[in-house]
Amino acid sequence: MFQPADQALRFRRLPVHQINPEEVVARGAAVRAGMLARDAGLEEMVMTDVAPFTLGIEVSERHGDRPGERSHGIFLPIIERNTTIPVSRSNVVTTVEDNQSVLWVRVFQGESRLVKDNVLLGELKLVLPPGPPGRETVDVRFTYDTSGLLEVQAKTINSGRLETLVIEGNPGVMQPGEIAKRLASLAKLKMHPRDDTENRALVARAERLFEERLGDTRRDIGRVLAVFIAALDRQNEDEIGKARRQLCDLLDVLDQSFFL
């Protein structure tokens, strides 16, 4: 049996000891049995797979007014632990060095703020045209499925250059054809929520009503719309759904009052 210190060294995190493991197993088995028996009390319950660890990349953070004042080796989460999978999330980074011609995207798994305390999963190299700091913007996308397959894509916004890295949760288990099939099935997840037709139409509707109204009504529309746009940027489906309902409810009320 591993001691806590051994577990922390091997898994890079301390074990959770606040819960009774036997009770957790018993409760899970009871829920699963109830779902299989189609118990009425569990009609609204759905079992989902989630990401067990946070997945992200290494970045540098500027913390002063001088160009050279930066902290290196900072962990930037892209898919956080307990996120329902399959999932696809992206984040945008920029170059930080003068005449930087290469961007290394180093992929880590863990929960620590510094990448040195997390687990390196892999890295890919993206060649860039040299230029001043901040000139090149790169969209980094992680797509993760239930088999532990992680696809990392790094795409330059200006040139559209794309590099891809595929990391297998269990290397060698899946054949290349199966990997390609799984990645193809995840393609529809790669659309950013702000590019979804329904979301774009709702934003356009809100902006139209904002232009038509005045005073407190205009401020209310702007406030709720800002919350919805922020939720889209964070790409959290639950948060987006809640913000969408709030915005729709407000716009419906305003549309009805206009015709009264």
pLDDT tens digits, 199-224 = 999 999 999 999 999 999 999 999 99
Q: Is the pLDDT of residue 92 over 90?
A: yes
CA angle 212, 216, 217 (to 5 degrees): 40
Is the domain of 76 the same as that of 168?
yes
CATH number of the domain at 148, please: 2.60.34.10
Strand partners, 218: none
Same domain? 206 vs 249: yes
Least confident of 55-64, 183-192, 214-223, 233-242: 183-192
Verify that 60 and 126 share a domain, yes or no.
yes
β-strand partners of 91: 140
For residue 105, give the DSSP letter: E
> Residue 118 in contact with residue 138, Cβ under 8 Å?
no
Residue 102 φ/ψ region, left for φ over 0, alpha for ψ in the -120 to 50 degree band, beta for the rest: beta
Mean pLDDT on 113-133: 93
Is the domain of 90 the same as that of 181? yes
- Are residue 82 and residue 117 in the same domain, yes or no? yes
Stretch 51-76: mean pLDDT, rounded? 84
Same domain, 97 and 176: yes
Checking if the pLDDT of 2 tops 80, the result is no
Taking only the tens place, the pLDDT of each residue in 161-207 is: 999 999 987 777 788 888 888 888 778 778 888 888 899 999 999 99
Our count of domains for the chain comes to: 3
What is the arithmetic mean of pLDDT over 66-79?
84
Residue range of the domain that includes 199: 194-259
pLDDT at position 114 is: 95
Q: Which two tokens stand for residue 189?
A: 């997840």
Average pLDDT over residues 83-92: 91
Q: Is the dihedral of CA 242, 83, 26, 24 positive or negative?
A: negative
Same domain (yes/no): 180, 210 = no
Is the previous residue joined to 77 through a cis bond, with omega within 30 degrees of 0? no
Does residue 236 share a domain with residue 182? Answer: no
Q: Quick one: tokens of 56?
A: 């992200």
Do residue 139 and residue 249 come from a single domain? Answer: no
22 versus 111: the higher-pLDDT residue is 111
* pLDDT of 260 above 50: no
Each as own residue / partner, the long-range contacts of residues 173-182 (CB below 8 Å, 24 or more positions apart, any chain) are: 174/147, 174/149, 179/149, 182/145, 182/147, 182/149
Both 78 and 168 in one domain: the answer is yes
Q: Per-residue pLDDT averaged across 111-119, rounded? A: 94
d(CA 120, CA 55): 10
> Is pLDDT above 60 for 238?
yes
Based on the fold, state whether residues 62 and 145 are members of the same structural domain: yes
Phi/psi at 193 (nearest 5 deg)? -55, -30
Same domain, 180 and 77: yes
pLDDT-derived band at 65 (thresholds 50, 70, 90) equals low
Return the closest-CA partner of residue 50 out of 86, 20, 26, 18. 86
